[in-house]
Amino acid sequence: MAEKIKVLISEEEVNERIEALGKKISEDYAGKQIHLICVLKGGVFFMCELAKRITIPVSMDFMSVSSYGDGTSSSGVVKIAKDLDESLEGKEVIVVEDIIDSGRTLSYLLEILKKRGPKSMGLCTLLDKPDRRVKDVKVDYVGFEIPDEFVVGYGLDYAQKYRNLPYIGVVEGVE
Ligand code: IMP
Ligand code: MG
């Protein structure tokens, strides 16, 4: 059966929510400068759209991690495939993620980044699957809580496909 994508969250809904998150972050950090960290590749669409809607000064950096796992679940042991270019020392950091699933990757990553001396460390995710949580992570900003379904679009992939969809969808027809 061919894969089909069912829309879960429309482009309009995603855009509205990102607008609201940008406004909230701008208010919460008023008078400060934020350093956004994108976890590649999934977080890239969300971080760019979010950054465009933040009205206070922003700087950005990117990192890429791979988690040792069996393919379908992450082990929580994270290998840094591409590290940040800049130091976090004294910065108001917000890590931007596409989705928090088990929470293993993020909790490990946050431990590493906290040791680099940021002034503060926040976490913003477009999607959250709270039912799947194994490791407790404190999430400061959530776009949408979603049920335990495999989603694609807005940076999220299925076998590297569908990242470019401007909405969040569920893949149907996968064996
Ligand atoms: P975890 O929170 O350590 O389990 O792993 C989170 C990572 O798994 C995310 O950053 C995604 O790359 C990937 N992931 C989890 N759920 C989904 C999904 O529904 N679609 C696409 N990728 C997902
Ligand atoms: Mg990710």
- Tell me: the pLDDT tens digits for 14-47? 999 999 999 999 999 999 999 999 999 999 999 9
Considering just the CA atoms, what is the radius of gyration of the chain in Å?
A: 16
> Which mutation among 99, 105, 127, 135 tests ligand 1's pocket best, with the greatest number of atoms within 8 A of CB?
99
Residue 114 Cα to ligand 1 midpoint, Å, equals 22
128 touches ligand 1 (CB under 6 Å): no
Q: Catalytic residue among 83, 101, 136, 157, which? A: 101
- The most distant pair of C-alpha atoms in the chain lies apart, rounded to whole Å, by 54
Looking up tokens 């379904």 gives: 149
Residue 90 Cα to ligand 1 midpoint, Å, equals 29
For residue 57, the model assigns a pLDDT of 98
Contacts of residue 21, defined as CB under 8 A and 6 or more positions apart, other chains included, come to: 50, 53, 124, 141, 143
156 touches ligand 1 (CB under 6 Å): yes
For residue 88, the model assigns a pLDDT of 98
For residue 129, the model assigns a pLDDT of 96
Q: Which atom of ligand 1 is nearest to the CA of 101?
A: 2
Residue 93 Cα to ligand 2 midpoint, Å, equals 17
For residue 75, the model assigns a pLDDT of 67
Q: Does the active-site annotation cover 83?
A: no
The whole-model pTM stands at 0.93
Looking up tokens 């994108």 gives: 38
For residue 61, the model assigns a pLDDT of 98
Cβ distance 52 to 96 under 8 Å? no
Rounded-to-integer distance, Cα 133 and Cα 74, Å: 12
Backbone region of residue 143 per phi and psi (left: phi > 0; alpha: psi in -120 to 50; beta: other values)? alpha
**Low-confidence residues of the chain: pLDDT under 70:** 1, 68-76, 175
